Chain A
Amino acid sequence: MKSAKKTKLAGMPGRLCLVITAGAMLVGLMAANSSGLNSKYPPLFKDTTKWPATFGFGRTATVAEIAKWDISIRPDGKGLPTGDGNVSKGAAIYTLKCAACHGVSGKEIPGIKLPAPALVSDTAAKSKPKTIGNYWPYATTLFDYVRRAMPYNLPGSLTDDEVYSVTAYLLSANKIIQPDAVLNAQNLPKIIMPAKKIFVVDDRKGGSEVK
């Protein structure tokens, strides 16, 4: 505990700008955080004691641990696994594992309330109900959601190839891709969904205007 350094822990609760004495390693850590634990992690409350650069609670996550849980798919395709699927295989899986809740065709059946939403319609933005064809802005979301949450009674039970196939079938049923298409990590993110152009980011801001 020889090397002393004046460091402003401004971002920290307390921010009394105390002179702190720390070991060389700690100083290194603080230097890495530069002047700005303050500005970077703005404090919500004032503490009576100066916070250390780190508390040291928790442990480093391993690459394998991250890989096991990191299942999100980005719109640009990052996260998509290897493998592929096609429409006909997807149709078979749909009939077996999806149709019971979403209906034989995935289309809305007038007068009948299905246990799960309709998935298929024409792609006109005004058409009802909201389906993949007229309301889903990204094809990657379909893969991501089916893989993480479907089928409802056995979530996460489909193989990656099966998820590609179900995705292909649903996109084909909504007439977004051709019936002979084979989907994989390269071409899935390139699909432009009909609904994408109608999505806008919230612009409400409070104040006197009703939006």
Chain B
Amino acid sequence: MEKEQKHHKEKSNSNISRRTMIGGAVAAAIIPVVSSFTKYIQAGVPVLSLVIDDPTKKIGPGPGKLGKRSPFEQPVKKPSDISSRSPLQDFYSTITPSDLHYERHHAGIPSIDPNQYELLIHGMVERPMKFSLADLKRFPSFTRICFLECSGNFRTGKEELTPQDILGLTSQSEWTGVLLSTLLREVGVSDKATWLIAEGSDAAVMTRSIPIKKALDDAIIAYGQNGEAIRPEQGYPARLLLPGWEGNTCVKWIRRIEITDQAYMAREETSKYTYPVNGKIRMFSFEMDARSIITFPSFPQKVEKGWIEIRGIAWTGRGKIIKVEISTDAGRTWGTARLQEPVLDKAHTYFRYLWQWKGDATEILSRAVDETGYTQPSLKQLVDARGADLGGYHLNPVTSWQIKPDGSVLFKPENWK
């Protein structure tokens, strides 16, 4: 009941502020010194009304405290009840703006006071310890770029799907934090330890079992994202980051790490994040295998005859992408895309491929190859390897876009059952 009332109050507040905004918009039409163009857009004022005939003849707004996007650019995430997808088709390169990073929560986003925050490391250690956020920040720090991806990241089933719909549960940031190995060195891990339990402080107290080997390899307790404090949706004030591993293992809002010698078989590693393979259920699938997607051209864009630069991203949890191949004839022949340097370890890699379209109906596809020699498989190859009862996890098939003679672009859904 109390919750309902609170909801109602928030709602009426937003009504008031909307009215205020509209008033502001009118003023803005007269005086071009404005506080927030974005709000006008939300209030339904046409973008065109914001355009000044000749910007060289009017002084614009001065410097502000927070930057904002041009009102002409409105990339947004696409939320469901449990996740929100990154608008991959809106990105020109591989760092995801933090407010457009995908989300996947198991019991919402917790509100955590950074001054109260503590990380407990205990179990098979010489000295169980608690670290405040300030403590974590005092340790030698480390920065790297890597992607995150939900292992359930794949949608198909109809032609009217955007890259965001199909593969929007991946994003990339530059992360900063303390290496987990630095913290484990501080507490002294028993030689007999083989696993750790990572636990979040969300309302699901989300837990995963992680092999110690990964912790000592490249795991990070991250508190920075793209140069600023990590966003609440991504684990504020601190999260576990396991480069290349399925997003769910990178426990957000991390509060406890228990060093142990066995997996605990938590709900998210048994009844979830597992999938059927030839009559068995595969568990502890950590690494994200190589995949790619063409983000331009894609639905609902339209293309014109002539030169088109096909663009997209490729990535692998097993190291670096070494090659992205493109087919513009429905998979009959393949050419090699140009990779944007530097190609980073376990990172989204931007690719480009020049193509002259003559106006015929065709299909365009991309497939990624990683440094282990793994080539992104077709859906048929995955079905052949795992059986027709594929689950939704770790499903990384080559996908294709249909180009119609009128220039429209449609996803090509494939069925396998």
- A: which residues have CB within 8 A of B? 11, 13, 32-33, 37, 40-45, 47, 51, 54-55, 57-61, 65-66, 69-75, 125, 130, 132, 135-138, 140-141, 144-145, 148-149, 152, 155-156, 195, 198-208, 210-211
Contact = CB atoms under 8 A, between A and B. Distances in A.
28 contacts: A37-B185, A43-B181, A44-B217, A58-B132, A60-B129, A66-B122, A74-B262, A74-B264, A75-B265, A125-B279, A137-B270, A138-B265, A141-B265, A155-B205, A198-B280, A199-B270, A199-B280, A199-B281, A199-B283, A200-B277, A204-B289, A204-B394, A206-B370, A208-B373, A208-B375, A210-B381, A210-B382, A210-B384
Given A130-B271, A201-B284, A137 B265 contact: yes
Given A61-B128, A136-B270, A202 B373 contact: no
B293 interface: no
Contact of A207 (B129, B258, B284, B373): B373
Given A41-B181, A61-B130, A149 B385 contact: no
Given A140-B265, A207-B374, A149 B270 contact: no
A198 B279 contact: yes
Interface of B: 106-107, 120-122, 126-132, 135, 138-140, 142, 179, 181-182, 184-186, 188-189, 191, 197, 199, 203-207, 216-218, 255-256, 258, 260, 262, 264-267, 270-271, 274, 277, 279-287, 289, 318-319, 370, 372-375, 377, 381-382, 384-386, 394
B266 A55 contact: no
B271 A135 contact: yes
Contacts of A54: 185-186
Given A55-B138, A201-B282, A206-B289, 4 more contacts: A72-B258, A198-B280, A202-B283, A206-B287
B367 to A, nearest CB: 12
A200 B283 contact: yes
Nearest to A45: B142
B120 A61 contact: yes
Instruction: Report, nearest first, the 6 A-B pairs whose CB atoms are least far apart.
Output: A206-B372, A145-B267, A58-B131, A148-B205, A202-B285, A41-B185
Nearest to B129: A58
A125 B281 CA distance: 10
Nearest to B218: A44
A149 B129 CA distance: 25
Contacts of A37: 185
Residue among A47, A54, A55, A201 with most chain B CB within 10 A: A55
A97 to B, nearest CB: 15
B214 to A, nearest CB: 12
Q: Which of A33, A69, A137 has the most CB of B within 10 A?
A: A69
Contact of B285 (A33, A45, A204): A204
Contacts of B255: 69
A75 B260 CA distance: 13
Interface centre among B139, B142, B203 (most CB of A within 10 A): B203
Given A45-B142, A55-B138, A199-B281, A70 B122 contact: yes
Given A72-B197, A201-B283, A206-B287, A148 B256 contact: no
Contacts of A70: 122, 256, 258
Contacts of B283: 199-202
Contacts of A41: 181-182, 184-185, 216
A210 B207 contact: no
Contacts of A51: 140
B207 A72 contact: yes
Contacts of B204: 148-149, 155
Nearest to A75: B265
A71 B205 contact: yes
A13 B375 contact: no
A202 B288 CA distance: 12
A41 to B, nearest CB: 4
